[in-house]
Amino acid sequence: MGWLIAWTRLFHFFALHRGEFLTHYHKRCNVENAFSAIERVFGDPARSRTPRAQLNEVPLKIICHNIRCLIHEAHELGIMPTLERLPCPCQPKFPFTSYTGGIILLVVAKVRLSGYRCERCGHEWVPRDKDQEPRVCPKCKSPYWNTPRRTEKSKAIEKRKLA
């Protein structure tokens, strides 16, 4: 019967606080998608035999997945990131640093994107097709995304001109 009480409490939380529930639920969905992509590309099991080597292998798979995603997005968006090497401030926290005794260097990418900004809602985005100007804003769906809103003064002036 304990599962029924927990389910009832979660259902009521969902019904009363739907937005907060969905933000946490979608975080879980994103994590599961990332794990699925890592397993699909790099294989499901850890190939190392010892527990220490397995602890080293799993974070390296995640790092390789992140680098793979960065390279994919750089090609898709047509950008060339500039890379800087910085010493990692969290070096002792990783289990594989003490094992190798090396220094981990953090790579920071500075990227400059060219995109569009909606004059209506302020949404900024990078288009998929760079050769064609977007017809509508992807967020507010306004076809006047590149036309600034008229102020109350300009509306009043136009009304006087028409009258």
Neighbours of 4 (CB within 10 A): 8
Q: Are 127 and 76 in contact (CB under 8 A)?
A: no
Per residue in 48-85, pLDDT (tens digit) is 888 888 888 888 888 889 888 888 888 888 777 766 66
Q: Which residues contact 68 (CB under 8 A, 6 or more apart)?
A: 41
Whether 128 maps to a domain, the answer reads yes
Q: Are 145 and 118 in contact (CB under 8 A)?
A: yes
Mean pLDDT over all residues of the chain? 77
Total number of domains in the chain: 1
pLDDT beyond 70 at 13: yes
pLDDT score, position 66: 86
Tell me which residue range forms the domain holding 144: 114-163
Asked whether the whole model's pTM tops 0.85, one would answer: no
Query: 125 forms bridges with which residues in the sheet?
Result: 116
Whether 147 maps to a domain, the answer reads yes
- Cα angle at 146 between 143 and 152, to 5 degrees? 95
Angle between helices 2-16 and 18-42 (to 10 degrees): 110
pLDDT beyond 80 at 92: no
Q: In the chain, what percentage of residues exceed pLDDT 70?
A: 71
Residue with tokens 């799993």, as numbered in its chain:
58
Separation of alpha carbons 149 and 119, rounded Å: 7
Whether 163 maps to a domain, the answer reads yes
